[in-house]
Amino acid sequence: MLNETLHPEATPDGLAHFRPLVQSGHHGPDSGATAGTLVDKYGRRITYVRLSITDRCDFRCTYCMSEKMTFLPHDAVMSFEECLRVVRVFIGLGAKKLRITGGEPLVRKDALWLIERLGALPGLDNLVLTTNGSQLDRYARPLFEAGVKRLNISLDTLRAERFRRITRIGDIGKVLKGIAAARAAGFRRTKLNAVMMRGVNDDEFVDLLRFALDNELDLSFIEEMPFGDSRGGAAYVSSEETRARLAEHFELLPSTEDTGGPARYWRIPGSETRLGFISPHSHNFCASCNRVRITARGELYPCLGQNDAVNLLEALRAGADDEALRQRIVSSMGIKPLGHDFARQMEASQVVRFMSMTGG
Ligand code: SAM
Ligand code: SF4
């Protein structure tokens, strides 16, 4: 199966009539916008970019990929120089935080070359990375030295056989070594991400939290989203159900903490661990959305749950200068929707991308 069934139009509906806030001297009273910031038509400020640097991966997680994938040819993927240009333009538009993701970002050849340069870009306050952990044993220290501030590591189970089944080819031993290597390299508050799946890992939520507590890690549980081969409604476990189950074993104190992301947090007395729930179904987090996503092939997706995108790579390769690129990015704000509706999409998946393409 090809890792993309989508071919966005150069000018999606709604874009032609959008008058970007960023260009005018005056912004609406509620937008909170100042000159040089990227603001969508609902007044949300975009300060966070998630950049997928590859669609390839050394795992084939069932909820993320199909077993037989055809990956993009190399020349369809943004080069590192193209990535750097796009990120620089975003920083000029007020982006402060960048997450490198994939596919598995650390399987891209020479990923460190890019990450070191991104880490040195003036104006970028927060460079972070999402990984499956399989390569961290080797890369944790150079990533820390390159200025990566924090890691998210995906881990849905602690059981080797189950891990193999979920990832189809992964070795949990490597991931556990990677988690230890991240700590040894100096990373703190590393966060584990676990997708909740009924009948697959829903008997392990307590063990996963114990593991996080024992290893001074944060942990976020994620409601499964209807991408690719995901089983849709059958596997769905809500954040609320998981929280209630954990509350039978741990004292959970609600926290007002906000990391600028979609997670809601809880604290466990006596530990630093932050327990988060990312609930695209049960709690739509769109009202405070501050992010956009860029795929490995240079498409800018203003919303994870929609199919509309603006092609940046096409513009770059047609010789667009920074101002033209900036205009293209600003105009994409016209297609950022008010919200997504994963609950409705559960039964009839409208989002035909794979998560590995959009970057999670
Ligand atoms: N390979 C890296 C990893 O696994 O962390 C980075 C890319 S992966 C696409 C980013 C995140 O998306 C992972 O935490 C993964 O669990 C999550 N993810 C993938 N497919 C998902 C789905 N259908 N629903 C919810 N989360 C999903
Ligand atoms: Fe690879 Fe991450 Fe997708 Fe798993 S979730 S297949 S590790 S990209």
Average pLDDT, the chain: 85
The phi and psi torsions of 121 (rounded to 5 degrees) equal -75, 125
Residue 88 has pLDDT above 80, yes or no: yes
Q: Which atom of ligand 2 is nearest to the CA of 131?
A: 2
**Residue 257 confidence (pLDDT):** 75
The burial of 75, by beta-carbon neighbours within 10 Å (0-12 exposed, 13-18 middle, 19 or more buried), is given as exposed
For the chain, domain boundaries: 21-358
For ligand 1, the distance from its centroid to the CA atom of residue 345, given in whole angstroms, is: 18
Q: Percent of the chain having pLDDT more than 70?
A: 79
Confidence of residue 1 (pLDDT cuts 50, 70, 90): very low
Out of 4, 61, 163, mutate this one to test ligand 1's pocket (max ligand atoms within 8 Å of CB): namely 61
Q: Is 34 helix (H, G, I), strand (E, B) or coil?
A: coil
Closest CA to 192 of 257, 275, 127: 275
Confidence of residue 283 (pLDDT cuts 50, 70, 90): low
For 326-338, write each residue's pLDDT tens digit.
Answer: 999 998 988 787 7
Most confident of the following: 37-51, 135-149, 251-265: 135-149
Q: What is the pTM of this model?
A: 0.88
The phi and psi torsions of 341 (rounded to 5 degrees) equal -140, 75
For 209-246, write each residue's pLDDT tens digit.
Answer: 999 999 999 999 999 987 656 566 678 899 999 999 99
CATH code, residues 21-358: 3.20.20.70
**Residue 42 confidence (pLDDT):** 86
For 339-354, write each residue's pLDDT tens digit.
Answer: 766 555 554 444 545 5
Amino acid at residue number 63: Y
Which amino acids bring their CB within 6 angstroms of ligand 1?
57, 63-64, 101-102, 104, 130-132, 154, 193, 195, 222, 224-225, 227, 230, 355-356, 360
Out of 132, 152, 165, 200, mutate this one to test ligand 2's pocket (max ligand atoms within 8 Å of CB): namely 132
